[in-house]
Amino acid sequence: MNKAMQIFLKAFSDPETKLDVQKSRRLMNLKMIHPFKGFYRTLDTRIYHEDHEVPMRIYFPNEESYDTVDIEELQKNENSSGAMGDNTYPVILYIHGGGFVTESVESYNRVCWNLAKHTQHVVVAVDYPLAPEHRFPRQVEDCYAAARAVFTDRSILNVEPEDITLMGDSAGGNITAALSLMARDRGEFRIARQILIYPCLNNNYEEHNGFPSVMENGQDYLLTRQNMADYLEYYQSSPKDRENPYFAPLVEENLEHLPDTLVITGELDPLRDEGEFFAQKLKKAGNRVKHHRIPEGIHGFFLLEPFYPAVRQTYEYVNEFLEHTEREMRKV
């Protein structure tokens, strides 16, 4: 990374100040302004969990996939995802990042549309509620309800469970890993594969938490150690949550029988070491795991356009993983 970029990133990093949630949300919401938004092929839908809705947005990789939606059926029953009876595309169920307190499906429009386009998958993004207004385990349980609907009700997307990939970045990577644990523990459906992009997996970000990258990269590269400590404080309902593997998947002792996993970490990310340690633990537990570290990658790089080298490299790894694991699944 050149000196000018280092100076720029350091100028916008504030390692000592406590996170201002509303200020962070206003800043993140600037990403909703996008000149090509009108060209995205999307469909909004929802599922119901207990006494509330869980909104979802479906992104289509091309016109052919969008044409599988029966709009008349959708208009008859707004709770249906549109009777995609002719869909032949595999699906990525995507959980967005944002430290559990910021971001939304709306602010991730560009990311999810690029993901659909560059992987040729239908992408279903879950718009889970944010902390601190809603705290753990609400986010995980709502995402689990959405996953259960997508995995078990073929009428929604006309896709077999083995053709669905669970994927998330940052806090979304945390929820993705938690959902894989939940699905294994509850036995209601099976997740074949998961992709974790610079996931947040640990339960503390103190100075001596055992992962050097927290101190090495936790001051000058936008995401700071203080940010991470604040995110967890806003997310938890009580301190006891931090020992719950669905809150911090890294504390799970039994990692057997989990999905095929791709872990992407960034060289300059404070979360680098915990992501790589989790990949090692998964592999030692007998799971099939691929890990790649992106050179000079900072936290959040996947939100950039695909022409950036780090994003382009990530898509190469993602597509390689998808093609290999989906091909292997078809052999079974």
Question: For residue range 6-23, what is the model confidence (pLDDT) as tens digits?
Answer: 766 666 677 778 888 888
Asked if pLDDT for residue 50 goes beyond 70, the answer is yes
At 3, the pLDDT band (50, 70, 90 cuts) reads: low
Q: What is the mean pLDDT of the chain?
A: 91
Reduced to 3 states (helix: H, G, I; strand: E, B; else coil), residue 266 is strand
Total-model pTM = 0.94
CA-based nearest residue to 271, from 211, 188, 332, 203: 211
At 182, the pLDDT band (50, 70, 90 cuts) reads: very high
> What does the pLDDT average to over 258-277?
98
**Among 116-130, 214-228, 248-262, the least confident range:** 214-228
Asked if pLDDT for residue 75 goes beyond 80, the answer is no
Asked if pLDDT for residue 90 goes beyond 70, the answer is yes
CA distance 246 to 240: 12
User: Which pLDDT score is estimated for 27?
Assistant: 80
Exposure b/e, 190-203, CB count within 10 A at least 16 = b: ebbbbbbbbbbbbb
> What does the pLDDT average to over 206-230?
92
Q: Amino acid identity of 257?
A: H
- Residue 323's contacts (CB-CB under 8 Å, 6 or more residues apart) are none
The residue ranges of every structural domain in the chain are 3-331
Q: Give counts: helices (H), strands (E), the chain.
A: 12, 8
Question: For residue range 138-157, what is the model confidence (pLDDT) as tens digits?
Answer: 999 999 999 999 999 987 88
> What does the pLDDT average to over 285-292?
98
CA distance 115 to 110: 8
Sign of CA dihedral 187, 60, 324, 292: negative
Asked if pLDDT for residue 71 goes beyond 70, the answer is no
Q: Which helix (H) or strand (E) holds 301?
A: none
Please check whether residue 160 is in contact with residue 227, taking contact to mean a CB–CB distance below 8 angstroms.
Answer: no
Fold of 3-331: Rossmann fold (3.40.50)
Reduced to 3 states (helix: H, G, I; strand: E, B; else coil), residue 209 is coil
At 262, the pLDDT band (50, 70, 90 cuts) reads: very high
User: Which pLDDT score is estimated for 76?
Assistant: 53
Strand-pair partners of 92: 123, 165
Q: How would you write 7-71 as a 3-class SS string?
A: HHHHHCCCCCCCCCHHHHHHHHHHHHCCCCHHHCCEEEEEEEECCEEEEEEEECCCHHHHCCCCH
At 5, the pLDDT band (50, 70, 90 cuts) reads: confident
> What does the pLDDT average to over 196-220?
93
**273 φ/ψ angles, rounded to the nearest 5 degrees:** -70, -35
Percent of the chain whose predicted confidence (pLDDT) is above 70: 91
Neighbours of 130 (CB within 10 A): 22
CA distance 291 to 126: 25
CA distance 248 to 9: 28
DSSP 161-172: GGGEEEEEETHH
User: Which pLDDT score is estimated for 77?
Assistant: 52
Rg (CA), the chain: 19
User: Which pLDDT score is estimated for 87?
Assistant: 87
Asked if pLDDT for residue 47 goes beyond 90, the answer is yes
- Residue 118's contacts (CB-CB under 8 Å, 6 or more residues apart) are 306, 315, 319
Asked if pLDDT for residue 78 goes beyond 80, the answer is no
CA-based nearest residue to 223, from 168, 269, 266: 269
Asked if pLDDT for residue 292 goes beyond 90, the answer is yes
